[in-house]
Amino acid sequence: MTEELTHWIDGKRVAGRSGRYGEVYNPATGEVQARVPLATAEELGAAVESAAAAQPAWAATNPQRRARVMMEFVRLLNRDMDKLAEALSREHGKTLPDAKGDVQRGLEVVEFCIGAPHLLKGEYTNDAGPGIDLYSMRQPLGVAAGITPFNFPAMIPMWKFAPAIACGNAFILKPSERDPSVPLMLAELMQEAGLPDGILQVVNGDKESVDAILDHPGIAAVGFVGSTPIAEYIYARGCANGKRVQCFGGAKNHMIVMPDADMDQAADALVGAGYGAAGERCMAISVAVPVGEETADRLIEKLVPRIEKLKVGPYTSGGDVDYGPVVTAQAKDKILGLVNKGVEQGAELVVDGRDFELQGYESGFFVGPHLFDRVTPEMDIYREEIFGPVLSTVRAASYDEALGLAMDHEMGNGTAIFTRDGDAARDFANRVNIGMVGINVPIPVPLAYHTFGGWKKSAFGDLNQHGPDAFRFYTRTKTVTARWPSGLKEGGEFHFKAMD
């Protein structure tokens, strides 16, 4: 029987009223397992009205009490880790260890938000002038919203709503309609942790809901993670409507392999970073750039047997699976279409996963691993974000050529270099025009107390996600200049000096 999902409004599950639904698949079987309601602009507006009514009292709650809600939420996340991971795997397709990692990286941002009392402190200058004191306050924006993607249905919603709520805002979450169950479960856990009704709303929907968020005058700020074209659209429309907007788009992450690198270490890193989570990560390494023909030959020789041994299967297979299916049939078709385009354009397909089929799961959205060699920058498989288990190898004749490849690509989310040469690594980190850099680390996602964000067409807006930037994004700074007349006691009474 197909499950009927809901929204989360005013602290309870609420059925959709639009009559429109999206289908939620089990990616391993290809079967529809749930229907999710797609909200109208009116339904979104009702959620915003409720959030706006609840927010002033929450903003007036002192930061330490707000932090205690986050502390309890962390405890509940740990309690329900297995339950959340299983629900996530069932709708997304990723393995249970990957699903637990998804929850864990979101949980770590919530832990950082427990520091809200410190992070929200302003500044103070005593005696800035004669009898004048200056101080600043960080105050919440009001109602904020987040539009989050399918590939991390636990982590990225928590990256958005946890700092916003810790700052004293109410929050409207519009999760991906492809795997919406975990965000609803997170909202229930926030309520159990003590969050007042109306502070976190989950409104499921599609483009109609997104446009309603961007156009609603009661929403002060919007955060988005997804593809670059949609990021550009949301950033432009949100800014045009006077909102504070941060948008994170696509990626094409290069990993430079220098001749002196530990080739086994580099190959292991590429397999994990390129094929883990079926490549459906904005920080996945999708381009290997060995420097020199000999380095390239050695790297390919190490990669092929590792890739051919990868085990692909459903999350129910237990821990003996390296990655699962991609999220939808459309995603699978796009990936295989780009693989075919790579072959047509002259790339050498060293490992061909196009005929991969899993017995008993023939209708599932499984994609075998692919490895290309001798890819060139004009090819579609190099220019576009494939978002699947496909690794492209671009051979560079020199370090400068390898650096130039990463710098010239329009995406600038993450990059890495593998080398034993500290000078080369330092030069790379200083010169490369990319937001997150790994040195012998293939997926350089910062920990929760630093900020996450790319450059170029991978990010739009001035502030990054999580870390101190999140508290800057979800607050406004108010600066107060105070002067008090001084009193001189004469005959038992105070006589106040004139201000001027």
Half-sphere exposure of residue 118, counting CA atoms within 13 Å on the CB side?
Answer: 7
Contacts of 230 (CB under 8 A, 6+ apart): 224, 249
28 within a domain of the structure (yes/no): yes
Neighbours of 47 (CB within 10 A): 30
Q: Are 292 and 377 in the same domain?
A: yes
Q: What is the CATH number of the domain that holds 429?
A: 3.40.309.10
Q: Are 222 and 300 in the same domain?
A: no
285 within a domain of the structure (yes/no): yes
What's the pTM? 0.94
pLDDT at 494 over 60: no
Q: Are 177 and 245 in the same domain?
A: yes
Q: Are 169 and 224 in the same domain?
A: yes
Q: Are 200 and 281 in the same domain?
A: no
238 within a domain of the structure (yes/no): yes
Q: What is the CATH number of the domain that holds 58?
A: 3.40.605.10
pLDDT of residue 130: 87
Q: Are 218 and 266 in the same domain?
A: no
Q: Are 401 and 286 in the same domain?
A: yes
Nearest to 287, CA basis, from 405, 136, 152: 405
* Sheet-wide strand order for 253-257: 348-351, 370-373, 390-393, 285-290, 253-257, 414-418, 436-439
pLDDT of residue 499: 44
Average pLDDT of every residue of the chain: 95
CA distances from 295 to 81, 254, 283, 305, 428 (A): 42, 16, 24, 17, 18
Number of H helices and E strands in the chain, helices first, is 16, 25
Q: Are 39 and 84 in the same domain?
A: yes
Active centre residues (catalytic): 282
Nearest to 168, CA basis, from 11, 72, 63, 68: 63
pLDDT of residue 493: 59
pLDDT at 491 over 70: no
For 25-67, write each residue's pLDDT tens digit: 999 999 999 999 999 999 999 999 999 999 999 999 999 999 9
Confidence grade of residue 1 (pLDDT, cut at 50, 70, 90):
confident
pLDDT at 151 over 80: yes
Percent above pLDDT 70 for the chain:
97
For 387-419, write each residue's pLDDT tens digit: 999 999 999 999 999 999 999 999 999 999 999
452 within a domain of the structure (yes/no): no
* Structural domain harbouring 154: 3-249+467-480
pLDDT of residue 55: 98
348 within a domain of the structure (yes/no): yes
For 178-210, write each residue's pLDDT tens digit: 999 999 999 999 999 999 999 999 999 999 999
Coil, strand or helix at 252? coil
Q: Are 331 and 367 in the same domain?
A: yes
CA distances from 292 to 376, 391, 400 (A): 15, 18, 11
Q: Are 278 and 396 in the same domain?
A: yes
What the block records as the tokens of 116 is 């809200």
CA distances from 328 to 153, 212, 285, 312 (A): 15, 26, 21, 16
pLDDT of residue 168: 98
pLDDT of residue 38: 98
What the block records as the tokens of 221 is 């700020």
Integer Cα distance of 399 and 258 in angstroms: 8
259 within a domain of the structure (yes/no): yes
For 335-361, write each residue's pLDDT tens digit: 999 999 999 999 999 999 999 999 999
Q: Are 210 and 302 in the same domain?
A: no
What the block records as the tokens of 486 is 């001084």
For 255-273, write each residue's pLDDT tens digit: 999 999 999 999 999 999 9
pLDDT of residue 317: 87
56 within a domain of the structure (yes/no): yes
Q: Are 245 and 261 in the same domain?
A: no
**Number of separate domains in the chain:** 2
68 within a domain of the structure (yes/no): yes
Mean of pLDDT values over 213-236 = 97
Neighbours of 388 (CB within 10 A): 23
> Do residues 257 and 418 lie in contact, with contact meaning Cβ atoms separated by under 8 Å?
yes
